Amino acid sequence: MVKVSQLKYERPDKEEVITSLKKFKHDFDSASSVGEFLKVHQRYKQFCLDLYTNISLAEIRFTQDTRDEFFAKEKDHLDEIVPEITVYSAEIAKCYLNGKFRAELEKVFPLVMFKNLQLQADSNSPLIVEDKVEQNKLVTAYTNLMSNVVVDFNGEKLPLSGLAKYYSSPDREIRKQAYVKLGEVLVEKGAQLDEIYDKLVEIRTRMGRKMGFDNFSPLGYMMMQRNCYDKQDIAKFRANVKKYIVPLTVKIRNKVAEKMGWDKQYLYDFNVFTEEEPKPYGSAEEIFRKASEMYNEMSPETGKIFDMMVDSECFDYMSREGKWGGGYCTTLPKYRLPFILSNFNGSAGDIDVLTHEFGHAFEAYKEFDIDSSFLSSISMETAEVHSMSMEFLAYPWLDKFFKDKTEAYKFYHIGSAVTFIPYGTIVDYFQQNCYDNPGMTPSQRNEMFNMMEKEFIPYMSTEGLPGIEKGRRWQRQAHIYESPFYYIDYCLAQFTALQFLALSQQDYKSTFDKYVKFVSLGCTKSFVELLKDCDLYSPFEEQSFKIVVKAVEKILSL
């Protein structure tokens, strides 16, 4: 049994990697038959699995402890060499796209693979390699800045990820003070955060213009593998969120406010849906034991994958100083292992992140069997459907974790899912405006974020929270710095996951089978094609919003 902690990391040597890539390109170009081409493909696949396993392992080690000097240096090393490696990989993509065997290859590989390879080829160029290196260094600077913050709060020394457990405290004053502490951090680090983002916008704008665009936005869409919808589709989605989802969130929040006796709602009330916080029972170890029971009862396949991950040490779930503050699922493809990092803090969010990231892991494990996945993986909105839907598909087993608080958790969880969509829409809208208007000053960006919150979250006030009331809340959202345009994916996915929730209330088995079909098709279809093949409503159609909102209102008795 492979143990992640025992895996040996080998530093990728840039010159050796590039030499190998050049040789692969030569071999692809020299192939005299499609059979010979496919033999080179298999050798190239193994090379990529080895390379990306090493890169992934370095990322895992760095995020487990951002203070580790060795892996901090390895992160810097990879930040410098990966952009250039990506350029050479894009050249190999052209062997599949433009080679003499294209017609025959289209009978072997999914057609969406060719779309994705074209996006990869079109969005990578030697012209922007140095810019990508500079960008990566700034992203690492942001990660280090936020990961190494330690605050004194409620008698504890906490990283920002640990402070988050107080955002849902049943004591309103404690919640407020936790957000005050966050606001103080954002003010204290404000100049550095502004400088990092200023430089990121400048660099990304320069990249876009070098690639022939007016700004970064078109290039950003290509880098995010938008292969079946565009900026206009997102604008339609955003308009329908405002028209249908925002009124639904107001209904939900008004119901909460009435129950809690609040005349006015503040940001520190945002994560509270019930009088008593529905915290899971038991230690982290007990939660994992119950999760194993759940996934073995859900299906033989989910149980096998979960237990294999536990045995192989594929979970790092406890919050600690120096650890990266978010949660993610990545893969170690050479070993056919998903890996999950999260930050348990004793809140209901521990169950959210456990089920969410396992949804990613379930898909990742199945994707190992798709021959083209190393060339053309799923796009992010599809990936997030897998994770968010898994959260809802865990509902029949929630009493294992919450016992008498199960119904309270469901209301919190569904309410959170719905009220997230307007926030996530803001994050994307904010980025769109920043890159469409790269000359904005930090104060203009903060003012813009404040205005968007008032438009999409009309019931919420940030009054009395330093920094946050001035519009700095977005600087805690790592995606804005690290992964431009990666956030609307969560919204599109949440909209789709709510459909799985509604269907599971009617017939769990057929819904789970539909989910497995959606997951199994993985990177062989685009997001829009997957929706059609699985009989799900599109988030780009207004009628879909009417149907989904009605279903949620029924479930929540609104």
Task: Give the three-class secondary structure for 331.
Answer: strand
Q: Is residue 409 part of a domain?
A: no
* pLDDT at res. 277: 82
Q: Is residue 63 part of a domain?
A: yes
Q: Would strands 337-344 and 328-332 be described as parallel, antiparallel, or unpaired?
A: antiparallel
pLDDT class of 522 with cuts at 50, 70, 90: confident
Whether 165 shows a pLDDT value over 90: the answer reads no
Q: Is residue 17 part of a domain?
A: yes
Backbone Cα Rg of the chain: 23
In the predicted model, what is the mean pLDDT of residues 99-116? 96
Q: Is residue 81 part of a domain?
A: yes
Separation CA 502–CA 479 (nearest Å): 29
pLDDT class of 543 with cuts at 50, 70, 90: very high
Half-sphere exposure of 209 (CA within 13 A, CB side): 11
Task: Give the three-class secondary structure for 470.
Answer: coil
Q: Which residue, among 140, 94, 138, 144, has the nearest Cα to 120 in the 3D structure? A: 94
If one counts the domains in the chain, the total is 1
Q: Is residue 395 part of a domain?
A: no
Q: Which residue has the tokens 């960006």?
A: 445
pLDDT class of 520 with cuts at 50, 70, 90: very high
* pLDDT at res. 544: 96
Phi-psi bin for 174: left (phi > 0), alpha (psi -120 to 50), beta? alpha
pLDDT class of 321 with cuts at 50, 70, 90: confident
CB 133 within 8 Å of CB 79: yes
450-509 per-position pLDDT tens digit: 999 999 999 999 999 999 999 999 999 999 999 999 999 999 999 999 999 999 999 999
- Long-range own/partner contacts, residues 214-220 (CB < 8 A, 24 or more apart): 215/435, 215/436, 215/438, 216/435, 216/438, 216/484, 217/432, 217/435, 217/436, 217/485, 219/123, 220/435, 220/484, 220/485
In the predicted model, what is the mean pLDDT of residues 23-40? 97
Q: Is residue 298 part of a domain?
A: no
CB 360 within 8 Å of CB 387: yes
Q: Is residue 264 part of a domain?
A: no
379-404 per-position pLDDT tens digit: 999 999 999 999 999 999 999 999 99
Separation CA 83–CA 133 (nearest Å): 6
Domain span at 77: 7-135
Q: Is residue 373 part of a domain?
A: no
CB 397 within 8 Å of CB 374: no
DSSP state of 396: G
| Single pTM value for the model | 0.91
Characterize 274-310 residue by residue with b for buried, 16 or more Cβ atoms within 10 angstroms of its Cβ, and e for exposed: beebbbbeeeeeebbebbeebbeebeeebbebbebbe
